[in-house]
Structure 1
Amino acid sequence: MRCIRLGEREVVRRLYLAVRDQEWGTLGHEVHDLHLERDAASFRLSFQAEDRRGEVDFHWQASISGDAQGTIAFSAEGLARSSFWANRIGFCLLHPGGECAGRDCMVEHSDGSRQSGRFPLYIAPHQPFLDIRAIAHEVAPGVWAEARFQGDIFEMEDQRNWTDASFKTYSRPLSLPYPFRVEAGSVVRQSVRISLQGQVSAGVLAAAGAPGPVSVAVGQAPLGPLPRLALAVASGSETLSERDSVRLRALRLSHLHLELNLGQPAWRERLRLGAAQARDLALPLVIATVFADEAELAALRQELERQRPHVCAFAVFHQGEPCTSSRWVRVARRHLQESAPAARFGGGSRDNFTELNRGQAPGDGFDFVGYSLNPQVHAFDNASLMETLEGQAWTISSARRLVRGLPLAVGPVTLRKRPASAGDVEPEALARAADPRQMSLFGAAWTLGSLQRLAEGGVEAATYYETVGCLGVMAGDAGARLPGLLAVPAGAVYPLYHVFADIGELGDSLVLPVVASDSLKVAGLALRHAGGTRLLLASLVPKEQEVVVAGFGPLLRLRRLDEGNAEQAMLAPEVFRAQAGEVLASKDGSLRLSLPPYALARLDSF
């Protein structure tokens, strides 16, 4: 169940059953025997589902019912048809981060005692609530929504640590050993009941009207400069053709990101490749160095003195630390500063914001702090990925409380978790890290939404994706293949290439605030530049979406990127970019647009 609302107020983001294997992989359901009964005042849905992967064979029989009093009950009985190891089996309930963060709640524990509490405003590094039998929060004046759990001990984690924009209540406490053995024939019985307490006013219910257009307003007070944008050197051994280089130069990037694992035998060749590409693109390098000891740093210094690349920063990551300590930043500076006198030094987390949030605060020696982002830690469907955009903004506001005024450098931002090792990655590992949606309009829309959150959040720098290949912004002259899924022709760019090109061609820009009436449906990035103001819009939903833009000037130039011209934009990007678009006149200061699924629109005022 998704987006349970009272009027316009979201009460529950998602309620679902999950089997997670011993690697924390979430199995998909094969649903069958679906039956729905409903009338004007109630409904009942029953179904069966199979979760199968590897040694796991698990069967669910479940039902969902709702009544006119606003009570929803979800019950399930699961049967293990095989013996296997698991980390979690049962219900997960997600409270929406935007509606709940910083708000009061009431928790009932398994012994019947009650605790007044508050959903964390900033991201909690560990579980905010343990031993939950029920939890309630106020959703309208005098109206509380309660979620009551049966069948196991539940607790809550702050999923914003991984950019999921929610608080997750789940069963089997993490304090118990995992993975645990599930024997064939064992049964799991759980239920969740969501109910309202208090009198719901007619005004609250009246707000739940038919969905209308999403309104988008552009503010006029700049938030600050656009972050310095970068791409990473491709994970494989691809070299850039002249055409690849010309297209990448058109993005007017700030730098090129190169990750070096000094424990790998080919890191020197990796440095040579990255340095050559940086010189070809006339960009400095930011080197993210992963090392085990000082001897490896000394070897890097020698190689830097031999190859003499232009390095503007070092991101420092010791293999024994989930989050960089001041000690290793100071050690890296001592070894490497002489080889790159103007370079800055920093560190943080190579993985998620979580490790930064749970680590020690940056101390002396840091010039910047960073962490990576990817939206596919807990969920993998399109809607869940779009919801993580809100979570990215939460990581920025929470990180600022940890970094003591230091600049934030976020990235690499990727659509799926990056390969564990940088460098010449095996094709199988590359295929696991690639997501075909990166090559689609969906990938472009998600990227624009991410850029909006990072730019409006005021990060100093943001690194995205890679240059070419399956993980890049374009296929490159070598093309891109995902075996069994798709092949992108040589020379093609991905739709998200045009997002970066639309930003890069403006030069220095100031970020203006954009407010959408429904940020789960539409994202927007507004930039003020020497020639005027540009607004980039993206639909985040798989259906036609009406948008009304207000306060953006009487005359506008519109260029679309959607299902009607995406193929041309990919195969002939120079031809597409030469198209100026159509001139439109706003009516009473507003402009109404219709955006097809995951479509993008570029609006320029003049």
Structure 2
Amino acid sequence: MTQGPATPSQWFPPTRSFTSGRWSLLVRDGELAEIAVDGQVLLRGVRAIVRVADWVTVPWSVTSVDMTDASVTVRLEATEPQITGTLRAEIDGDRLTATVELEPAEELWTNRAGLVVLHPPVLAGTPLVVRHPDGGRSPAEFPEAPAPHQPARDIAGLTWDQGGLRVELGLEGDVFEMEDQRNWTDASFKTYNRPLSLPFPYRIGACERIRHGLVVSASGATAQLPSGAAVAPGRGVSSQGTGGHGPHVIDLVAADPLPQIGLGAATAPDPAPEIGMDRGVPLLVELDLRTATWQAALERAVASGHPLDVRLVLEPADPADSADPANREKVRSAVAGLVGQRVLRVGAYAGGSPRHVSDAATIAVLREALDAAGLDLPVVGGARSHFTELNRGQHLLPADLDGLAVAMSPLFHDLGTPQLVESVAMQRILARRMVALAEEKARGAGVHIGPVTLRPPFNAVAERDYASPTRPDLAEGYGPALADATDPRQQAPELAAWTIASAAALAVPGVTSISYFEQWGPRGVVDSDGAPYPVAGALEALRGLVAPGDPAVTHGNRSADAAPSGAVQLLSGDSPDGLLWAVGSADGPQTTLLLANLHPVSREVRVNTPAGTVTECVEAASWVSRTMV
């Protein structure tokens, strides 16, 4: 048994390593992570989870971590509500046993409480045998494409083959089922307790103990995998990856014109600062017509002087009233405010859980308002929350969309930096799936991704998904400013590298625009006084890949999407490990490259392009720019 020291960092969480025989794992943020046999990760993580009203996750404090030669015990504590817990793993030869015990001090009403198992995304496409509580067995698989619904239900155990090993996972204490968390850009498939078909919330009595357990065994090959072993491109890898001998290789090929790089409109309280920003940067502004601030939000966005990508949020249409007069009046008023403005495109979503998608009734109301105002603008639709809702609601989309849109926010299930870092490879999977859906649902029209934010701008699974300000102006801000949507890593230098990596992952052929964060404020690229955060430099570099030019139009011009940038072409390619990324542009004899390293250590990377090869050593959680002439 060996123990590694804690490795504290402002960006990377403190981590302790544990090894016993063939087994190894990490203790990180109160979870048992990267559980591996002979260096091969079998389980992405094992966690103790408590979800309360609106599926809010109760945060844990780690009170102690104890290790012996063959066991790890993590003691947990929550204060609101007051819960104590233990997460323990024991090694016995080829078997690892893990248990979760939770005990609330008072009566607890919960949507979910107990054991969660995360499976690595490299298993996508792997056949699976599901053992049921009655002893029966049925075939399934870890789905290749992100699955909209549970790929396995009624689970008491799972069996699969991985890297020459036969892996057996047994579960006890409840009935489990699985969901594909790649829909939210999580790098995992999740097996969780208590089927969603059962009523929730449910009651747990004061001092009533919850106990769940698992046993995982691996039989077969015993050869140790080399550190940093290769994975299939785009399937993701551990954020703790430190191994492998460089240089790692990225092959970039010429593809479509580069996507527009834009920003989300600021939602922070007035006053807006003076910002010396290129007025050609598009702003994505969401106007929630259910609130009193939407008119002020539109006025501020228009006053910024930037071209606008406008998204309207409507009350869900009343099935008994197809005319929906309340929505029609508000939408007509909002669309009238776009006349004469610099508008790229406009979209609309039905607000309210569980949809948040652009159904046929919502888009029909928008198109009617555009016709009444004499505006001929591209109409986009999709999901304003996560790819999840779009994946589950494909059948709701109308057939006449001019583009497919989706938002992304990696920190939905988990606030840890590993979650954030590992999401990048999943973003590429979802971008490609979006392009395929656009072929099916929007006649091959472009894909618009954004806003890409760290935390969700609203709780898509809450009974009420928006906050109501007390006044119609922006003295309090609006939308995300009134929610728990601000993350301290917005100011971190490492976020710049993450943003370059994210853009490299999302910039696949067929993606027309990508919008990040907000223009200013605590969720922006500059603060409320106009001082830039480090991520501002990354966005400027990404914008610099595109030839200068204003992509915006005034109303009535159908060609609202960016015109091709002459000879400028996107250079795109897969990451070799999910943590090293490159993106570039070729403009005649000049090639510009942006390289990002999300590893916690420096990495040497060789980038092959049509113009030649560049080899660089990129520092940990950093990025570099290189020009070839």
Question: Shorter-chain TM-score: what band?
Answer: 0.7 to 0.9
Matched, 1:456 2:508: yes
Asked if the contact 2:254–2:610 (Cα under 8 Å) also holds between the matched residues in 1, the reply is no
Shift of 1:240: 5.2
> Within the alignment, does 1:504 sit opposite 2:543 as a pair?
yes
Which SS does the other structure have where 1:444 is aligned?
helix
> What residue number does 2:485 align with?
433
Aligned twin of 2:98: 74
Change (3 A) 1:3 1:526: farther
2:88 alignment counterpart: 63
Inter-CA distance 499–421: structure 2 relative to 1 (3 Å threshold): farther
Q: In the alignment, residue 313 of structure 1 is paired with which amino acid?
A: R
Structure 1: which amino acid aligns with 2:476?
Answer: E
1:276, distance to aligned residue in structure 2 (A): 2.0
- Give, in whole Å, the separation in 2 of the partners of 1:175 and 1:166: 22
Corresponding residue number in structure 2 for 1:375: 410
Tell me, what secondary structure is at the counterpart of 2:511?
A: coil
Partners of 1:394 and 1:375 lie apart in 2 by: 14
* Cα shift at 1:512: 2.0
Q: Give the root-mean-square deviation of aligned CA atoms.
A: 2.7
Is the helix fraction higher in 1 or 2?
1
- Cα shift readout 1:383-406 (whole Å, capped 9, x = no counterpart): 111111122222233334444133
1:418 partnered with 2:418:
no
- The correspondence for 2:593, drawn from 535, 543, 547, is 535
* Corresponding residue of 1:110: 133
Partner Cα separation in structure 2 for residue 64 and residue 201 of structure 1 = 21
Alpha carbons of 1:353 and 1:11: their partners in 2 closer, same or farther (altered >3 Å)? same
Match of 1:44 in 2: 71
Change (3 A) 1:354 1:190: same
Aligned equivalent of 1:275: 302
Q: 1:434 to 1:371 in 2, by over 3 A?
A: same
Structure 2 unaligned residues grouped into runs of 5+: 1-31, 230-241, 316-323, 459-465, 548-564
Per-residue CA deviation, residues 395-440 of structure 1 (Å, 9 max, x unaligned), is: 2333344441332211111111115369837369447211121121
CA contact (8 A) 2:256 2:509 kept: no
Q: Shift of residue 300 of structure 1? A: 4.6
Deviations 1:330-358 (A, max 9, x none): 33112213535331112111111111111
What is the CA-CA distance between 1:524 and the residue it aligns to? 2.4
Q: Which residue of 2 aligns with 1:391?
A: 426
C-alpha deviations, 1:74-110, integer Å up to 9, x for none?
Answer: 123322222121111111111112x111111111111
Whether contact under 8 Å (1:537, 1:601) holds in the other structure is: yes
Native 8 Å contact 1:314 1:345 kept in 2: yes
Take 1:299 and 1:207, find their aligned partners in 2: how far apart are those partners? 58
Q: Tell me the amino acid that sits aligned with residue 37 of structure 1.
A: T
Which of 495, 498, 519 does residue 443 from structure 1 map onto?
A: 495
Matched ranges for 1:203-214 at <5 A: 205=225, 211-213=243-245
Secondary structure in 2 matching 1:447:
helix
Match of 2:267 among 220, 235, 240: 235
Give 3-state SS (helix, strand or coil) of 1:426's partner: coil
Report the alpha carbon displacement of residue 378 of structure 1 after superposing the two structures with TM: 0.6
Deviations 1:9-57 (A, max 9, x none): 432111111122223222233333432112xxxx21224322221xx22
Name the structure 1 match of 2:393. Answer: 359
> Per-residue deviation at 1:213?
4.6
Q: What is the distance in 1 between the residues matched to 2:41 and 2:369?
A: 53
For 1:290-314, what per-residue CA distance to the aligned partner results, in whole angstroms no more than 9, with x for missing partners? 2234444445545654663232321
After superposition, the Cα gap between the structure-2 partners of 1:286 and 1:220, relative to the gap in structure 1 and judged at 3 Å, is closer
**Identical counterparts, % of pairs:** 28
Aligned to 1:257: 284
Q: 1:208 to 1:354 in 2, by over 3 A?
A: closer
Residue 21 (structure 1) aligned to one of 52, 60, 70 = 52
SS of the residue 2:431 aligns to? helix
Of 66, 70, 85, the residue aligned with 1:35 is 66
Q: Which runs of 5+ in 1 are unaligned?
A: 480-489, 556-588
Specify the SS of the correspondent of 1:474. Answer: coil
Q: Distance in 1 between matches of 2:248 and 2:373?
A: 49
Inter-partner Cα distance in structure 1 for 2:113 and 2:611: 56
Q: 1:297 to 1:491 in 2, by over 3 A?
A: same
- Select between 493-502 and 57-66 the one with higher mean Cα deviation: 57-66
Shift of the 217–532 alpha-carbon distance from structure 1 to 2, 3 Å rule, reads farther
Give the letter for the 2:456 counterpart.
K
C-alpha distance in structure 2 between counterparts of 1:512 and 1:4, whole Å: 36
Q: Look up the equivalent residue of 2:415 and give its one-letter code.
A: F
Separation (CA, whole Å) in 2 of partners of 1:263 and 1:592:
50
In the aligned structure 2, how far is the partner of 1:461 from the partner of 1:594? 27
Secondary structure, in 3 states, of the residue corresponding to 2:422? helix
Q: Does 1:194 align with 2:216?
A: yes
Deviates more, 1:523-532 or 1:14-23: 523-532
The answer to whether the 8 A contact 1:86-1:178 is kept is yes
**How many residues are treated as equivalent by the alignment?**
537
Match status 1:308 vs 2:332: no
**Bigger shift: 371-380 or 228-237?**
228-237
Is contact 1:19–1:88 with CA below 8 Å preserved after alignment?
yes
Query: Partner residue of 1:87?
Result: 111
> For structure 1, which segment, 443-452 or 285-294, has the greater mean C-alpha deviation from structure 2 after superposition?
285-294
The answer to whether the 8 A contact 1:216-1:516 is kept is no
d(CA) in 1 for partners of 2:349, 2:475: 20
Contact 1:212 1:546 in 2 (8 A): no
Residue 200 (structure 1) shift:
0.4
The answer (yes or no) to whether the contact 2:327–2:365 under 8 Å persists in 1 is: no
Distance 1:59 1:272, change over 3 A: closer
Contact 1:235 1:425 (8 Å CA) reproduced: no
Equivalent in 136, 144, 164 of residue 166 of structure 2:
144
The aligned residue for residue 463 of structure 2 is none
How far does residue 590 in structure 1 lie from its aligned partner after superposition? 5.9
1:468 aligned residue (510, 517, 520): 520
Whether 1:124 and 2:147 are equivalent positions in the alignment is: yes
Q: Which residue of 2 aligns with 1:551?
A: 608
Secondary structure at the aligned position of 1:327 is classed as helix
Kept in 2: contact 1:218–1:513 (CA 8 A): no
Amino acid at match of 1:247: M
* CA displacement, residues 453-488 of structure 1 (integer Å, 9 cap, x when unaligned): 21026312222111111121112xxx3xxxxxxxxx
Q: What residue identity is the alignment partner of 1:366?
A: L
The AA in structure 2 aligned to 1:351 is: S
Of 389-398 and 231-240, deviating more is: 231-240
Answer 1 or 2: higher relative contact order, Cα 8 Å, separation at least 6: 2
CA contact (8 A) 2:49 2:57 kept: yes
Q: 1:64 to 1:266 in 2, by over 3 A?
A: closer
Q: TM-score, normalised by structure 2?
A: 0.79
